[in-house]
Amino acid sequence: MDTFDWNDLRYVIAVTRKQSAAGAARELGVSHATVLRRIQALEQGVGTPLFYRRATGYEPTEAGQQLADVGASIENAVAQTRRAIDETSSELAGSIRFTTTDSLATALMPAVLKRFHDRYPNIKVEMIATNARLDLDRRDADVALRPTGRPPASWVGKPLADLRLGLYAAKDYLKERSPQAWQAFDWVVPSGSLAQPSVIEWLNLHVDEAHKVMRADSFVALRELALQGIGATILPQFMGRHDGLTLLHTLPSDVATAPWLLTHINLRHTRRINVFMEHVTECVRAILEENVAPTGAESIDEPPA
């Protein structure tokens, strides 16, 4: 244990969590070889294997699990200490780690963050655009904006305006097709985290499986694929306002989802977090409400031309 490096506990935690060296490498932002090298060095330092290398993945030995538990305790203690320090800060300065989906980050947040920067130039925002849910408990981010179910008890916030959805196709794709015949079009459909049960159920009801020619787990990708003329797709209406796209039909309001704006309960009284969340709430609600198509376009029998 004389050569034990506490920093290597990060690698034990990540391999235990992901059950693979490759997954740990992606989480830590290092190479696969670096993970293997640090685990090997730690095993030599403690004098015992830390993982069983099985066909199904890496399984911690008793010693490996003990080190992973110790590392997790240190990780949580550091995060709690950072939150406690933040709670005592009353200055409108400092940094905010903000995470949201790629579609919101690309099509909606730049203008929102520009206005925030103009108003609070001493608050530095780091935006993490990912469709994976980051853990506010582990301090992966300070504030999150994303569609979600009921958040954990330690996360506080509120749902914003509904993300109303619409069906869209490229104008070039419609040159030889009638918009009213959209059910017979080829379709590029959501997959992965975008494949919400209510959305998939609605699509399955109105679009045959044979017409679903491509899938993507990103609304940004779905929009670009539709613009290439591969087929029609489903998008949040704020993303469908594009010169190259035509709205075919708006989905019923019960298919919409509402993005939640969340922070950790220990950060709820931090001034810079408060002003950021108030600003995002006001701007996002205004943008989403402005970009909703008239409800009269919701009739399945008479989609808009």
CATH at residue 45: 1.10.10.10
In a domain, 71, yes or no: yes
- Grade residue 178 by pLDDT with cuts at 50, 70 and 90: very high
What percentage of the chain carries pLDDT values higher than 70?
Answer: 90
Task: Give the integer Cα–Cα distance in Å for 287 and 110.
Answer: 12
pLDDT at position 297 is 38
Q: Do residues 250 and 295 lie in contact, with contact meaning Cβ atoms separated by under 8 Å? A: yes
Q: Do residues 125 and 116 lie in contact, with contact meaning Cβ atoms separated by under 8 Å? A: yes
Q: Which of 85, 105, 136 is the last residue of a domain?
A: 85
304 vs 27, residue with greater confidence = 27
pLDDT at position 258 is 80
- Grade residue 302 by pLDDT with cuts at 50, 70 and 90: very low
In a domain, 44, yes or no: yes
One domain for residues 170 and 286: no
One domain for residues 107 and 178: no
One domain for residues 78 and 114: no
**Residue 255 token pair:** 């298919």
| pLDDT for residue 300 is more than 50 | no
One domain for residues 68 and 21: yes
CATH number of the domain at 199, please: 3.40.190.10
In a domain, 223, yes or no: yes
> Quick one: average pLDDT of 248-272?
86
One domain for residues 262 and 137: yes
52-56, 158-162, 188-192: which has the minimum mean pLDDT?
158-162
Q: Which amino acid is at 169?
A: A
One domain for residues 217 and 182: yes
> Quick one: average pLDDT of 69-73?
87
pLDDT at position 279 is 93
Q: What b/e readout covers 100-118, taking b as 16+ CB neighbours within 10 angstroms? A: bbebbbbbbbeebbeebee
One domain for residues 241 and 226: yes
One domain for residues 265 and 157: yes
| pLDDT for residue 177 is more than 90 | yes
Specify burial of residue 172 (Cβ count, 10 A radius: 0-12, 13-18, 19+).
exposed
Determine the structural domain holding residue 98 and report its residue range: 90-162+257-290
pLDDT at position 88 is 52
Structural domains counted in the chain: 3
Q: Which of 27, 51, 85 is the last residue of a domain?
A: 85
> Quick one: average pLDDT of 224-232?
96
One domain for residues 66 and 97: no
In a domain, 304, yes or no: no
Closest CA to 27 of 121, 117, 140: 140
In a domain, 201, yes or no: yes
| pLDDT for residue 299 is more than 50 | no
| pLDDT for residue 63 is more than 80 | yes
> Quick one: average pLDDT of 215-241?
93
Summarize pLDDT for 25-51 with one digit per residue, the tens. 887 878 888 889 889 888 888 889 999
One domain for residues 81 and 191: no
In a domain, 100, yes or no: yes
> Quick one: average pLDDT of 206-214?
94
Q: Which of 39, 58, 85 is the last residue of a domain?
A: 85
One domain for residues 55 and 77: yes
Summarize pLDDT for 83-136 with one digit per residue, the tens. 666 555 555 788 999 999 988 998 889 999 999 999 899 999 999 988 777 777
**Residue 249 token pair:** 């039909």
| pLDDT for residue 251 is more than 60 | yes
In a domain, 305, yes or no: no
In a domain, 303, yes or no: no
